[in-house]
Amino acid sequence: MKKISSLWLLLLGFTLFLRLASNLWAAADQLEEIRQEQTKTRQQEQVKELRQREQIENLKRDQQINQSQQELDQLKQQKVDEQSQKQPQANQTQQQLDQLKNDQQINRLQNELKLNQIQREQNPSRQQEQIRELQRQQQMDLLQDQLRKNQIQQDLNRLNR
């Protein structure tokens, strides 16, 4: 009888152990799902912030280009005799400004495509790497655009003299 009781207790203990282990595994799975969801949410927020920063930078660039365009338009309306001398330079500056606008629009579309691609990436670490790479590329584009804008501004200043 003692053997049966001991065996019964052992069986009961083993059953209890299996239930606890099963509950622990389920809890671990739930915890992993929560972590993955948090990572996904965090990365979506990063993409959203990146998109917002890109929009702000685009607005700043547009504002600078519009200012340059206004200066160029004012220059074109100056005295006719001065204009005839400066017309080739003004035309060249206009072409540079138009090219800058076109290049910025292309960059915007490319960045939007890259952001959409990043959002579809399933691997969180790969997605994070792509976000960092896009941020670096956007910073480089911004610096290049500023350099070109400064060159155009210098050309405008020369034409205004």
Confidence of residue 84 (pLDDT cuts 50, 70, 90): low
Q: Which domain range does residue 120 map to? A: 42-160
pLDDT in tens, 85-113: 667 787 888 888 889 899 999 999 999 99
Please report whether residue 61 resides in a domain: yes
Domains held by the chain: number: 1
pLDDT at 80: 53
pLDDT at 6: 81
Average pLDDT over residues 61-78: 84
Please report whether residue 89 resides in a domain: yes
Most confident of 20-24, 36-40, 155-159: 36-40
Please report whether residue 73 resides in a domain: yes
Residue 82: pLDDT above 70?
A: no
Residue 16: pLDDT above 80?
A: yes
User: Model-level pTM?
Assistant: 0.59
pLDDT at 11: 84
Please report whether residue 24 resides in a domain: no
Please report whether residue 9 resides in a domain: no
Amino acid at 123: N
Residue 20: pLDDT above 80?
A: yes
Burial of 121 (0-12, 13-18, 19+ CB in 10 A): middle
pLDDT at 33: 93
Q: Which two tokens stand for residue 155?
A: 């050309």
Please report whether residue 69 resides in a domain: yes
Please report whether residue 23 resides in a domain: no
**3-class SS at 161?**
coil
Report the distance separating Cα 79 and Cα 86, nearest Å.
Answer: 11
Please report whether residue 59 resides in a domain: yes
The answer to whether 52 and 137 have CB atoms below 8 angstroms apart is: no
Report the distance separating Cα 52 and Cα 111, nearest Å.
Answer: 12
pLDDT at 83: 58
pLDDT in tens, 27-54: 888 989 999 999 989 988 998 998 998 8
For 39, residues 6+ apart whose C-beta sits below 8 A from its C-beta are: 124
- The candidate with the shortest Cα–Cα distance to 45, out of 153, 118, 96, is 118
